[in-house]
Structure 1
Amino acid sequence: MGSDAQALLEDLKDADVNVRQVATEALWRLWYTQKGAYGAQLLVRSQNLMDRGQTDEAETILTETIEAMPDFAEAWNRRAVLYYIQQRYWTAIADCDRVLELVPYHFGALHGLGLCHMRLGNHTAAIQTFRRALAVQPYATTNQRLILECTAQLS
């Protein structure tokens, strides 16, 4: 991890909401542009297809991108999102796990992984994952709320 990413991760823990917002956007930008403009264009193209409901075409682009650039964490993450939308939770989990091997602090993949476990009824695994996400983004109230929801399901 570069010093830029390290500084941004520290900023996610800042009390100032503006500092956190800038850091969040900067990390997403880092992830999207990891493979330059071409890689980012592929992600945007796949997202546009997903937005139009053309999920097969979006999956093809993402899978081809992953095959060509297997260390492109955000391509794995975008495909995990696609699988989640399709309710293919175990497949999404596998892609989230790959993202986290590449970028252990990827709060988007941690959040998505928690959502998948939650949908599968794996509430303990979901809680553990949302806690990992909170370690990266302690002010992410959505993850705090989801931990409470999962905890209620366990009692």
Structure 2
Amino acid sequence: MVGLTHKLMFTMLCVATAVMAAEPPHDRLLDQRFAELKQAPDESRAREIEQAIWKLWMKSGSAEIDKLMQQALEARRWGDYDKALGLLDRMIEMDPQYAEAWNQRATIHFLRDEYEPALADVARTLQLEPRHFGAMAGRGVIRLHQGKTALAIQSIKAAMDYHPFLKERTLVPAQFLAPSAEPR
């Protein structure tokens, strides 16, 4: 019986270690930043944490994809949306699990007034990173542009569950914000 107990304990330890190993340090750090963001005492601290989260989201795990992302962001800054879109398409081909490539492509579609493709890319972003407050807020802004106010408010409020000091919260009339969702 003792041998069986030790084998069971060893098996449980191996399973626990494998589960812990399956979650990369990047993911643990992201979880930590989200917990900090939810508890941010003020807007200034929330912005610092938000920037740390964006830096983590921008890291794909591939130097080549990260370089392409920087090129895509530069192309977007210069208004070269075709080039940015091509680079983002390439990144998605290389790593379809990289959520930020989908989110950035949604942004390009939005900037080109291509709302349905933008919404499709937002949906994929949120499948890969369900806490992506930027994608949720972006969906809210798209819905406002489409005249779908109730859906816009819903999206922005969902984003505020993760980021209580979200900039886009100003787009939601105060009467629609639950007291618990308002920043402290």
Question: What is the TM-score of this pair, normalised by structure 1?
Answer: 0.88
Counterpart pick for 1:5 among 30, 48, 57: 30
SS in 2 for 1:105: coil
Counterpart pick for 1:53 among 79, 88, 91: 79
Counterpart pick for 1:44 among 62, 65, 70: 70
In the alignment, the residues of structure 2 paired with residue 93 and residue 46 of structure 1 have an alpha-carbon distance, to the nearest angstrom, of 19
Question: Partner residue of 1:80?
Answer: 106
Question: Partner residue of 1:98?
Answer: 124
Q: Which moved more, 1:118-127 or 1:37-46?
A: 37-46
In the alignment, the residues of structure 2 paired with residue 110 and residue 69 of structure 1 have an alpha-carbon distance, to the nearest angstrom, of 22
In the alignment, the residues of structure 2 paired with residue 74 and residue 90 of structure 1 have an alpha-carbon distance, to the nearest angstrom, of 18
Counterpart pick for 1:69 among 89, 92, 95: 95
Question: In terms of Rg, which structure is larger?
Answer: 2
In the alignment, the residues of structure 2 paired with residue 18 and residue 126 of structure 1 have an alpha-carbon distance, to the nearest angstrom, of 25
CA RMSD of aligned residues (A): 1.7
Q: Which moved more, 1:48-57 or 1:109-118?
A: 48-57
Question: What is the TM-score of this pair, normalised by structure 2?
Answer: 0.75
SS in 2 for 1:136: coil
C-alpha displacement of 1:18: 4.5
C-alpha displacement of 1:20: 2.1
Counterpart pick for 1:123 among 130, 149, 169: 149
Q: Which stretches in structure 2 are left out of the alignment for 5+ residues?
A: 1-22, 177-184
Q: Which stretches in structure 1 are left out of the alignment for 5+ residues?
A: none
Aligned residues: 149
In the alignment, the residues of structure 1 paired with residue 130 and residue 34 of structure 2 have an alpha-carbon distance, to the nearest angstrom, of 12
C-alpha displacement of 1:48: 1.3
In the alignment, the residues of structure 2 paired with residue 40 and residue 111 of structure 1 have an alpha-carbon distance, to the nearest angstrom, of 24
In the alignment, the residues of structure 2 paired with residue 12 and residue 144 of structure 1 have an alpha-carbon distance, to the nearest angstrom, of 15
